[in-house]
Copies of this chain bind each other. A is one copy, B any other.
Amino acid sequence: MQFISERRLDDGVLEREFTLGEIPGTLWTPESTTPVPLILMAHNNGLPKGEPRLVARARHSAAQGYAVASIDAAGCGGRPRSAAAEQARADLRRAMQAGEPVDEIFESFIGPLVENAVPEWRTALDALLALPGIDGPVGYSGWTAVGIRLAVAEPRIAAAGFFAGGYVPVAQREEARQVTVPLLFLLQWDDEGNPRQRALDLFDAFGSEQKTLHANLGGHTGTPWFEKEDGDRFFGRHLK
């Protein structure tokens, strides 16, 4: 893991860009004299780790006393694009906007993306926990499909917050019942890109004894600000 830049933000949070082999990442850490728990923050749908709303969320959590890390998935953010992936992403977007079935594109494109992202997150986890000032337990926040795979494969994940979850590859829908860590599942009731019933079915399927659903009125990007605080309190109950 190589740090390539750093800056100190207004709220005292230290934001550092890093690379881990070919994987670019960002780490946000609070001013703290004792080790802090770690939250892995993953973003679906090819969003870059630098997307402003997501950065705001990461900074908010860091200011509450967490180390927060994000990496770009293959073909996303700062990583090389492939023409095939760009085409698949465009097809997916077009089909979703047209209200057409997207399961096939989803399986062939997002399925492998999820499978390939998880080993990268585990590599990042090893490197992050080796840093001074960062300690377990580890939380996960964001992209539902990667979170399911990671929570099943990775015993160091102690709690997870998932967002949306209307479209999740079949492999992850099937292994949802193997997820047993405490869960906070966040849903936008009118999410244009996430069928509500599928998301509710997924919430129902999780094997966790402690699982909480939060749903708010509005579309995909309309999550109210107080859910950031609710997310931090959820992690506070399980990571601190």
Q: Report which A residues bind B (CB closer than 8 A).
A: 189, 200, 203-204, 208-217, 224, 226, 229-230, 233, 237
Closest residue of chain B to A204 (Cβ to Cβ) is: B189
What's the nearest-Cβ distance from chain B to residue A119, in Å? 31
> Does the CB pair B213–A214 fall under 8 Å?
yes
- Report B-chain residues with C-beta under 8 Å of the C-beta of A203: 189, 215
Closest residue of chain B to A197 (Cβ to Cβ) is: B200
A47–B186 Cα gap in the complex (Å)?
32
Partner of A210, one of B204, B211, B217, B230: B217
Partner of A215, one of B208, B212, B233: B212
A200–B229 Cα gap in the complex (Å)?
24
What's the nearest-Cβ distance from chain B to residue A151, in Å? 16
Partner of A211, one of B204, B208, B213, B216: B216
Main secondary structure of the interface of A (DSSP, over half): mixed
> Does the CB pair A217–B211 fall under 8 Å?
yes
Closest residue of chain B to A214 (Cβ to Cβ) is: B214
Closest residue of chain B to A227 (Cβ to Cβ) is: B212
A212–B216 Cα gap in the complex (Å)?
5
- Report B-chain residues with C-beta under 8 Å of the C-beta of A212: 214-217, 224
A212–B230 Cα gap in the complex (Å)?
12
A25–B132 Cα gap in the complex (Å)?
57
> Does the CB pair B213–A189 fall under 8 Å?
yes
> Does the CB pair A215–B213 fall under 8 Å?
yes
What's the nearest-Cβ distance from chain B to residue A101, in Å? 24
